Amino acid sequence: MAVNTKAKKVAKTATKKVAAKPAAKKTASSARAAKGPKYVYTWGAGKADGDGTMKPLLGGKGANLAEMTRIGLPVPPGFTVTTEVCTYYYANKRTYPATLQAQMEAGVANMEKIMGTKFGATSGMPLLVAVRSGARDSMPGMMDTILNLGLNDQTVVALENTTNNPRFAWDCYRRFIQMYGDVVLGVQKREGEDHEPFETVIHAFKHERYHEDIEDSKLTADDQKELVKRFKDLVKERTGKVFPNDPWDQLRGAAGAVFGSWMNDRAIVYRRKYNIPSEWGTAVNVQAMVFGNTGENSGSGVAFTRNPANGTNEFYGEFLVNAQGEDVVAGVRTPEPVIKLKDVMPKSYAELLQVRKTLEKHFKDVQDIEFTIQEGKLFMLQTRNGKRTAAAALKFSIDMVKEKLIDWQTAVLRNPADQLEQLLAPIFDLAEVKKAKVIATGLPAGPGAATGRIYFNADRAVVAAEKGEKVLLVRVETSPEDLRGMIAAEGILTARGGVSSHAALVARQMGKVCVCGAAAVAIDYDKKTATIAGQTFGEGDYLSIDGTSGTVYAGQIKTAPSEIIAGLLDGDKAAQATEKFKSYAQLMKWCQQATRMSVRTNADTPEQTRNAIAFGAVGIGLTRTEHMFFEGDRIDAMREMILAETVEARKAALAKLLPFQRSDFLGIFKELKGYPATIRFLDPPLHEFLPHTKEQQMDLARKLGIAVEKIMARVHELHEFNPMLGFRGCRLGIRYPEITEMQARAVFEAAVEAKKAGVKANPEIMIPLVGFKKELDLQVEIVHATAKAVQSETKTKFSYAVGTMIEVPRGALTADEIAKTAEFFSFGTNDLTQTTLGMSRDDSGSFLPPYTEAEIVKKNPFATIDQTGVGQLMEIAIAKGRSTRPDIKLGICGEHGGDPDSVKFCHKAGLAYVSCSPYRVPVARLAAAQAAIEEARKAAASKAAPAKGKKK
């Protein structure tokens, strides 16, 4: 705080000096600024200190404002206070670096020079500024922008006099006090209040003077003046302090609020969802104001250079005449589609179309822009890569290759791997939709089909979703407070708001199905009902929404697979002819071209195998043989085996299981058509197979003709305190070698039968949970002996491999020894994570959330590989394994194999393949291709860099 007071004094004298001798002051402060680190980066009049590559330092908004300035677009001048100041601020008890004030003064001076105005001027045109947050990645709705800063009781008169537009001047001042009061001074809704306090004041005033709720734009200059007075009284009453009159006090306060908002709840929730580290910090942008609220010749708007919902190459957005800032997205007045600008301001529209072209050509990607028109003159206020649905991302990438804006490798990178599943999401069943009743339509803001029980409030939606209900969140409009509910819901329906409303924005980003602005939906929050087309729906009732067309249906509608699924898995010809299917096929072809690592699947049945191959899998990375024991009567034979008291009895039971396993393997081999199949031998604790209720036990006793007490005793015997670390994995085969023998026989006999049927089987037998070389040796011995026996019995040769899963730390650490026996390693990262972290995955629900909250773990380690810990063990195992068996085959079969970040890690670590569940195969293929492309680009860049250096 000491810094602040001192800075304030400096500021005051500096401002006074400015008025007298601007040139002298500028030199003084630039000299001062030059001494310390550079905290302030200016832009304006075609020049900028920063550029678009400096997002970590300047934030996304600041970096692109600099970039737009550099390429000659009309951007009001300003400066960015860097993210380093945010870091400093939190590291130093919320104070600022000593040299910051002087650097900001230089920044303000630069703006004054370009604009020909003065900050705090009481005669002539005062410089007003916008104070805008700007994190590295945009965080919609999280941070608050303050407009018209610099206005006070004196400067507002100067503004009124110079513009000769009192309504405008007092509108600006009124807006400023409201925004500043809310964001910086914290004059907000208190518990028990239904409305924002400033809005309550406006409401009361309108009724007092006009006896009705007139539009804000109808308020006269005198009305605004009166509101300014009442707003200030409100601030005084709520905060006990007078509204700051000094522009520099205002500016410092606003900057502090931006930095402060980095740690507000909404920002934290958002960062957690998108894994943005809190260390990144936010920048603050201070920019000269331009005014969209001077009258009918002005306005402001937002647009995308192409349609971000479905990818169509059309200018897409909306604007409002005589409006400022967030008016467009606030949903108070309904904005016009941006193409209508053509009629009202043709010159500005033509200019805007030119900007659209320039931006796409320069950034080579679809841009999301904000602009303001002041008296017919266009100003660009923001550009960033537009958030998009997976469908739009796919279409953009394919189209831009055709347009020669990007190459195919870039196109592959443009499709976020973790969004790809959206394309596979179901659509409504066509026949069912025909029968369903359309009750409303809105804007198609997030494609896909969603059906669920409706809730009108985020908290109740979350609770219902936690209970396992499919939920639709239905709101008049959404705000950042609804984020949790939106995350929990299948889809979002709003009654108000356009394509740039909060709901649309968030839905696009999260890939949620969303219909917004469905005006026919009349919501009564108090009664918890929505009346639509004369029908009333209460909470818990079903609605269905189609976010691709914007349609709202009554009741529940069955969904059907997406065109991609229908085309790939069912061979549906009509689906294969759709643009979506063809684009997907093109993308996967490119992936194929780029990738080094291949993708296998985790599959236990012929059907799963067939699906995975249709998705592009080239083998099975994990077949869990025990899954085969649960089907039909098989479980009885399995239980008999477990209950057996002698080797002979056990062998007899195993003999019953053998034909089942053999035929399962044969089915899988046939689907694989020569692709390899990694088959894991029995792994889970035996008690998982036994009946646990008295009734089930009696039933089994009857079936097997033994006493129920015997079963109970065995269940008791097999009970473990810690089954995860208990009698499981290869420990089973060590104690009961006949199990291993039966399984090996089933595999080999199936291989022989496959061969007879003209299919080459390629089995890779995998022994689980190996920590000691000797464990593996003992099991491998049985496998080899069985192979020999089957080959001589059937007089048929077949090839196979035996390897192990690396899933306990000791296995990883002694991988050099183990690799002497193992022909391949497959990383079982589920267990490896459990045993490395000493955390049980199934029990982690109770303690992992606070761990993520406190950022002890950045991501759930059971979903994304913990690279520093578990990843390190993998790297050790890879290096050691290769030291004794240089050509050892390496793969991964844990759940992580379908997680894009983990796939990229596996690529870097040098694995030959990843394996994941069938529906994740496309995601893994995309991630694997992206890893290869990124690696190639890095290599090319580091090759190119030294060459450049030499030239200089």
The residues of the shown chain that bind ligand ADP, judged by CB under 6 A, are 76, 130, 132, 143, 145, 147, 287, 289-290, 300, 325-326, 370, 372, 381-382
Q: Are strands 521-524 and 535-538 parallel, antiparallel or unpaired?
A: unpaired
| 86 catalytic per annotation | no
Quick one: what does residue 81 bind among ligand ADP, Mg ion, none, with the CB cut-off 5 to 8 Å set by partner type? none
Please, what is the minimum distance in Å from the beta carbon of residue 279 to Mg ion?
A: 23
> Of 308 and 894, which has the nearer Cβ to Mg ion?
308
CA dihedral for 282, 284, 290, 293, sign (positive or negative): positive
Question: By beta-carbon distance, which residue lies closest to ligand ADP?
Answer: 132
Tell me which residue has tokens 């400033």: 198
Alpha-carbon span 17 to 102, nearest angstrom: 13
Cα angle value 45/51/56 (rounded, 5°): 140
Q: Where would I find the H helices in 145-301?
A: 155-163, 166-183, 197-210, 221-239, 247-261, 265-274
Residues in the chain: 952
Alpha-carbon span 900 to 925, nearest angstrom: 9
The site string for Mg ion over 76-115 (x = CB under 5 A, - otherwise) reads ----------------------------------------
β-partners of residue 552 are 440, 545
> Of 62 and 809, which has the nearer Cβ to Mg ion?
62
Alpha-carbon span 408 to 423, nearest angstrom: 20
Alpha-carbon span 727 to 720, nearest angstrom: 8
The verdict on 382 binding Mg ion (CB under 5 A) reads yes
Please, what is the minimum distance in Å from the beta carbon of residue 380 to Mg ion?
A: 11
Quick one: what does residue 914 bind among Mg ion, ligand ADP, none, with the CB cut-off 5 to 8 Å set by partner type? none
CA dihedral for 704, 709, 714, 720, sign (positive or negative): positive
Q: Are 309 and 387 in contact (CB under 8 A)?
A: no
Quick one: what does residue 147 bind among ligand ADP, Mg ion, none, with the CB cut-off 5 to 8 Å set by partner type? ligand ADP
Please, what is the minimum distance in Å from the beta carbon of residue 138 to Mg ion?
A: 7
> Of 320 and 440, which has the nearer Cβ to Mg ion?
320
Quick one: what does residue 80 bind among ligand ADP, Mg ion, none, with the CB cut-off 5 to 8 Å set by partner type? none
> Of 382 and 836, which has the nearer Cβ to ligand ADP?
382
- Rg (alpha carbons) of the chain, rounded to whole number: 33
CB-side neighbour CA atoms (13 Å) of 66:
24
Q: Are strands 129-135 and 146-149 parallel, antiparallel or unpaired?
A: antiparallel
Alpha-carbon span 442 to 29, nearest angstrom: 54
Alpha-carbon span 378 to 372, nearest angstrom: 6
Quick one: what does residue 289 bind among Mg ion, ligand ADP, none, with the CB cut-off 5 to 8 Å set by partner type? ligand ADP
Q: Are 301 and 379 in contact (CB under 8 A)?
A: no
Please, what is the minimum distance in Å from the beta carbon of residue 285 to ligand ADP?
A: 7
Cα angle value 43/45/46 (rounded, 5°): 80
> Of 289 and 458, which has the nearer Cβ to ligand ADP?
289
Please, what is the minimum distance in Å from the beta carbon of residue 79 to ligand ADP?
A: 12
Please, what is the minimum distance in Å from the beta carbon of residue 942 to ligand ADP?
A: 35
Q: How far is CA 591 from CA 143, 246, 405, 408, 928, in A?
A: 38, 59, 19, 10, 8
> Of 383 and 598, which has the nearer Cβ to ligand ADP?
383
**Which three-class secondary structure string do you get for 542-590?**
EEEEECCCCEEEECCCCEECCHHHHHHHCCCHHHHCCHHHHHHHHHHHH
Quick one: what does residue 76 bind among ligand ADP, Mg ion, none, with the CB cut-off 5 to 8 Å set by partner type? ligand ADP
Quick one: what does residue 399 bind among Mg ion, ligand ADP, none, with the CB cut-off 5 to 8 Å set by partner type? none
Residues near 587 by Cβ (< 8 Å), separated by ≥ 6? 394, 397, 398, 411, 412, 415, 926
Please, what is the minimum distance in Å from the beta carbon of residue 126 to ligand ADP?
A: 14
Please, what is the minimum distance in Å from the beta carbon of residue 73 to ligand ADP?
A: 14
Element at 801 (helix H, strand E): strand 801-806
Stretch touching Mg ion by CB under 5 A, among 367-375, 499-507, 652-660, 868-876: 367-375
Phi, psi for residue 607 in degrees, rounded to 5 = -65, -45
Distance of CA 362 to the CA centre of its chain: 26
Closest CA to 415 of 56, 932, 913, 929: 929
Alpha-carbon span 248 to 131, nearest angstrom: 12
Q: Are strands 367-374 and 377-385 parallel, antiparallel or unpaired?
A: antiparallel
Q: Which of 502, 687, 896, 907 is catalytic?
A: 502
> Of 133 and 595, which has the nearer Cβ to Mg ion?
133
Please, what is the minimum distance in Å from the beta carbon of residue 26 to ligand ADP?
A: 22
Question: By beta-carbon distance, which residue lies closest to Mg ion?
Answer: 382
Secondary structure letter of residue 644 according to DSSP: -
> Of 370 and 399, which has the nearer Cβ to ligand ADP?
370
Quick one: what does residue 811 bind among ligand ADP, Mg ion, none, with the CB cut-off 5 to 8 Å set by partner type? none
> Of 381 and 754, which has the nearer Cβ to Mg ion?
381
Quick one: what does residue 197 bind among Mg ion, ligand ADP, none, with the CB cut-off 5 to 8 Å set by partner type? none
Q: Are 89 and 71 in contact (CB under 8 A)?
A: no
3-state secondary structure of 678: strand
Please, what is the minimum distance in Å from the beta carbon of residue 325 to Mg ion?
A: 8
The verdict on 165 binding Mg ion (CB under 5 A) reads no
Quick one: what does residue 54 bind among Mg ion, ligand ADP, none, with the CB cut-off 5 to 8 Å set by partner type? none
Please, what is the minimum distance in Å from the beta carbon of residue 100 to Mg ion?
A: 24
Alpha-carbon span 403 to 583, nearest angstrom: 15
Please, what is the minimum distance in Å from the beta carbon of residue 103 to Mg ion?
A: 24
The verdict on 821 binding Mg ion (CB under 5 A) reads no
Quick one: what does residue 290 bind among ligand ADP, Mg ion, none, with the CB cut-off 5 to 8 Å set by partner type? ligand ADP
Closest CA to 898 of 830, 852, 947, 945: 830
| 502 catalytic per annotation | yes
Please, what is the minimum distance in Å from the beta carbon of residue 289 to Mg ion?
A: 14
Closest CA to 273 of 366, 421, 142: 142
The verdict on 829 binding Mg ion (CB under 5 A) reads no
Stretch touching Mg ion by CB under 5 A, among 98-106, 163-171, 379-387, 898-906: 379-387
Q: In the range 625-654, which residues lie near Mg ion by CB under 5 A? A: none
Alpha-carbon span 718 to 706, nearest angstrom: 18
Q: Are 403 and 411 in contact (CB under 8 A)?
A: no
Q: Are 422 and 448 in contact (CB under 8 A)?
A: yes
Stretch touching Mg ion by CB under 5 A, among 374-382, 635-643, 775-783, 869-877: 374-382
> Of 356 and 714, which has the nearer Cβ to ligand ADP?
356
Quick one: what does residue 247 bind among Mg ion, ligand ADP, none, with the CB cut-off 5 to 8 Å set by partner type? none
Q: Which of 86, 172, 730, 893 is catalytic?
A: 893
β-partners of residue 41 are 80
> Of 181 and 763, which has the nearer Cβ to ligand ADP?
181
Alpha-carbon span 913 to 597, nearest angstrom: 5
> Of 300 and 415, which has the nearer Cβ to ligand ADP?
300
Quick one: what does residue 63 bind among ligand ADP, Mg ion, none, with the CB cut-off 5 to 8 Å set by partner type? none
> Of 99 and 145, which has the nearer Cβ to Mg ion?
145
Which residues lie near Mg ion (CB under 5 A)? 370, 382
> Where in the sequence numbering do the catalytic residues fall?
502, 893
